[in-house]
Chain A
Amino acid sequence: MSKPRLVLIGNGMAGVRTVEELLKIKPDHYDITIFGAEPHPNYNRILLSPVLAGEMTVQEIVLNELDWYKENNIRLHTGRQIARIDRVKRKVIADDGSEEAYDRLLIATGSTPFILPVPGNDLPGVIGYRDIKDTDEMIEAARLHKHAVVIGGGLLGLEAANGLKLRGMDVTVVHLGPWLLERQLDEVAGRMLQKSLEDKGLKFLLETQTEALIQGESGRVAAVRLKGGMQIPADLVVMAAGIRPNYALAEASGIYCNRGIVVNDTMQTYDPKVAVGECVSHRGIAYGLVAPLFEQAKVAANHLAGYGIGRYTGSVTSTKLKVTGIDLFSAGDYMGGRDTEEIILNDPHGGVYKKLVIKDNKLVGGVMYGDTADGPWYFQLLKDGRDIHDIRDSLIFGQSLVGDVGHAGNSKAAAMADSAEVCGCNGVSKGAIVQAIKARGLFTLDEVKKHTKAASSCGSCAGLVEQILASTIGGAYTPAASDKKPLCACTDHSHDQVRKVIREQRLTSIPQAMSFLEWKTPNGCDKCRPALNYYLISTWPHEARDDPQSRFINERAHANIQKDGTYSVVPRMWGGLTTPNELRAIADAAEKYKVPTVKVTGGQRIDLLGVRKEDLPAMWADLNAAGMVSGHAYGKSIRTVKTCVGAEHCRFGTQKSMTMGVKLEKMLFDMYSPHKVKLAVSGCPRNCAEAGIKDVGVIGVDSGYELYIGGNGGIKTEVAQFLCKVKTDEEVMEYSGAFLQLYREEGWYLERTCHYLERVGLDYVKSKILEDEEGRKAYYFRLLDSLKDARDPWATSREPQAIKQFIPIAVAVDA
């Protein structure tokens, strides 16, 4: 049986991406042929701007080398334009008369620059800006000539103008609109942009119409005549007044078009072929940025593969101007209207302008100029449709009033030098990231993480990396709505979907969950297995069996692995209290097992560092014998409850913080959670136990306790938010227990309480914990129930099968 034949017309970004997606999910299904009018393999069209600006070469922007086509058995015909589609005989006919038959046809012919209908528009020296040929022509013109006029002050026009200026030409931008980028910016931001471009030496004529292009003696264009009669010299005219979807070929073959090839949500035309890219019109929109096109490509590939489950429902896009040194971001409905509200921050001297457009308590659009650090964050809020009611008063100041650590407080990507360190964990500089994005054709944060390691450890620099990505490839980066992001590359399902299915289908083992959810890999990876294991045991506490092989080594060895492969041992000290007896046992163990370092931790207990794995069982046997249990200092679990001395001794104390802390820690012992959980109890508002930066912070006051949730002292210092005030110790346990159970049931694996809270909002938590008494009691009950058989992990780890992992096998070697 021969394979069905797939023909792709248009060897560009959307078409080839579709083929790549198809090969990923169903390799070898089709016999594939590609026709491209350009004489090049598929390249990154977006990066033509840096090529023009002299920052990159054409060689560097190729995305698929000729070898790629060969390796995938794709017949590529470059420099061959398809002239006709014969739908009856199902074949395409190229301009040189050659033919190719198809079973499925993919049309991805992109778009063409709109050429103004003015006299002289066909003169030599008048071009659009679309491909390598146009770019070469501009570079050549810059070498030989002086005056350039760019018609159109949109993204493309400004990038062309900037490039030509950098190549030494004298550049004037003629723009019909009242300000620059009027389709991306409001007036204030447009004017600020104009000012900074003028500082770079560009000239602008706004609200100006072009009337004719005048021929010079050489036959080449020599000037542009404007409406009103003014004439400006021009040896090169670049038309950047818009693009037109390239659908003439499809239309001529009788496929229904309406300002683009009309497709449905499965990317199919009226004839059930498939079309993707700038040439299509989906629900009346033809997109001109790659991000939505890549989403379309994924859906089209899914249908070509015969799976038929993907739907494309349209995209919200964001844009960024790729002019070095200018920080600009806009997304969604940035103009607003009668039914919207605006929050504006305007500091013309500081060069910062931000406008957020809000409708029905949701962010629907925004413009940022000068400080775009929070662009990706706002964009995410917009895509998620999150209710911003509770963060409205500080929304305009961005995500972090308190800065992240690890990259020297930098928050403006464009202002950073190439040598500046972006990722403090892995030592990755801005220059290295930009280089990787360009050289390897990266389009998403995940790809950048994978190739550069930036943002792949603690993640505090992810926002910066996103900005660098956005300013390097323009608006190409679109985050998925966060509740739809796949858990990892092994699946298309999100955390929420996985949790839901585990609950509804009563799944209790990892193989069962993977097979029900059609996992793409046989046994997952180091990202999804621990997550699945946690979801199973937290959803079905006494039913699902824990899988040690799906836990990170720390939770398997009940100790924290160190950089040299040794481990640390942290016995629990309830509420930070200890006894001479415990201290003696710790001292004995430290001596007996030759522990090199003994340290007091910030969680108020003692850390024995540098223990060999094979010593762990015996050492713990000694500590257990003295009545001590694991401190879980290694787990995604309850860590410590830190306490101050409180009313037991302190002259200021209003509540017995030590007693309260011990009660809480005993209640939560052996609790696993999406991420680590730390508590603190202070005896009065002086708050010596630092309860303000804990997942649950308890502060004693004269009339009872104040409860705070979602604090974090880590990468980003996050101050805990006030939840409520309660009177008794029992209420402290019930309210904090209920909140932690809510987090355990809804948090995504590796999501701290502060991030969970940011995602769902404090109002939501209040509605569950404060306003619904029965619900609260039910959460509290489920917490206690799932912890009813809590025990020290060492209770079972010394059993014959379990202990094997600690014992190396000796093997004799012959000389």
Chain B
Amino acid sequence: MSNWKPVCPLEDIPQLGSRIVRPATGGDIAIFRNAADEVFALHDKCPHKGGPLSQGIVHGKRVTCPLHGWNIGLDDGQAVAPDVGGCRKFAVRVDNGMVMLAV
């Protein structure tokens, strides 16, 4: 059973940007906001060599990892071909302007 937790108001995340959420149990989660105000949440660890995806450039529904430039799909956590690999994704939604994360 997932458990929805309030994270922050949507406007605390810049458009085409991200924030890091640090659960008490560890393992940073990156929350992204795209130009259409959709939000996405991924484990903040690139499938390539563990780069912090939260620090990448967001475009469309993708983020480019800052370390070696892999592109990762925001809605599925999967690397864009020809690279292969994926990272864990989390359920996230916006409720009355508040970003809610299922952890």
Contacts and interface: CB of A to CB of B under 8 A. Distances in A.
A526 B56 contact: yes
Contacts of B34: 523
Given A549-B16, A809-B19, A523 B64 contact: no
A523 B59 CA distance: 6
A229 interface: no
A128 interface: no
Nearest to B52: A565
A809 B19 CA distance: 8
A524 B19 CA distance: 21
A812 B59 contact: no
Given A561-B66, A814-B3, A522 B56 contact: no
Contacts of A530: 57
A198 to B, nearest CB: 42
Given A521-B59, A529-B59, A811-B5, A563 B67 contact: yes
A552 B66 contact: yes
B1 to A, nearest CB: 10
B57 A550 contact: yes
B42 interface: no
A443 to B, nearest CB: 16
Interface string B52-92: 10011111101010111101000000000010000000000
A811 B99 CA distance: 12
Contacts of A522: 35, 60
Contacts of B52: 561, 565
Given A804-B12, A811-B23, A811-B101, A524 B59 contact: yes
Contacts of B28: 808
A285 interface: no
A810 B22 contact: yes
Q: How large is the interface on B (under 10, 10 to 19, 20 to 34, 35 or more residues)?
A: 35 or more
Nearest to B45: A565
Nearest to A809: B21
A549 B14 contact: yes
A344 interface: no
A804 B19 contact: yes
Contact of A450 (B58, B66, B82, B101): B82
A811 B22 contact: yes
B90 to A, nearest CB: 11
A202 B14 CA distance: 68
B7 to A, nearest CB: 6
Contact of B7 (A561, A565, A613, A809): A809
B98 interface: no
A616 B12 CA distance: 19
Contacts of A805: 14, 17, 19
Contacts of A54: none
A200 interface: no
Contacts of B66: 552-553, 561
Given A522-B35, A523-B16, A451 B57 contact: no
Nearest to B31: A809
Interface string A779-815: 0000000000000000000000000110011111110
A808 B21 contact: yes
A810 B20 CA distance: 9
Between B25, B55, B82, the greatest number of chain A beta carbons within 10 A of the residue's beta carbon is seen for B55
Between A613, A809, A813, the greatest number of chain B beta carbons within 10 A of the residue's beta carbon is seen for A809
A732 to B, nearest CB: 37
A700 to B, nearest CB: 41
A608 to B, nearest CB: 19
Interface in A554-589: 556-557, 561, 563-565
Contacts of A553: 55-57, 66
Contacts of A626: none
Interface string A518-552: 00011111100110000000000000000011101
A813 B24 contact: yes
Given A521-B60, A549-B57, A811 B21 contact: yes
Contacts of A457: 68
A196 to B, nearest CB: 36
Contacts of A556: 55
Contacts of A564: 50
B94 interface: no
A523 B103 CA distance: 30
A565 B23 CA distance: 18
A810 B21 CA distance: 6
Given A561-B55, A565-B52, A549 B82 contact: no
B16 A811 contact: no
Contact of B60 (A523, A548, A550, A814): A523
Contact of B103 (A548, A563, A811): A811
A553 B33 CA distance: 16
B14 A552 contact: no
B21 A549 contact: no
Given A525-B59, A526-B69, A813-B103, A549 B64 contact: no
A809 B8 contact: yes
Interface in A428-467: 450-451, 456-457
Nearest to A814: B3
A525 B21 contact: no
A524 B58 CA distance: 9
Contacts of B51: 565
Nearest to A451: B82
Contacts of B8: 809
Contacts of A456: 69
B59 A809 contact: no
Contacts of A804: 12, 19
A521 B8 CA distance: 29
Interface in A503-527: 521-526
A549 B25 contact: no
Contacts of B58: 549
Contacts of A550: 16, 57
A808 B55 CA distance: 12
Contacts of A812: 5, 23-24
Contacts of B12: 804
Contacts of B71: 526
Nearest to A551: B57
Contacts of B16: 523, 549-550
A813 B59 contact: no
19 contacts: A451-B82, A521-B59, A523-B59, A525-B57, A529-B57, A549-B15, A553-B55, A561-B66, A565-B52, A613-B55, A804-B19, A808-B19, A808-B20, A809-B7, A811-B7, A811-B103, A812-B24, A813-B23, A813-B24
Interface of A: 450-451, 456-457, 521-526, 529-530, 548-550, 552-553, 556-557, 561, 563-565, 613, 804-805, 808-814
Given A565-B50, A811-B7, 8 more contacts: A521-B59, A526-B56, A526-B59, A548-B14, A549-B17, A552-B57, A809-B8, A809-B20
Give 8 nearest A-B pairs by CB, closest first.
A526-B64, A553-B55, A549-B16, A526-B57, A808-B22, A565-B52, A808-B20, A553-B66
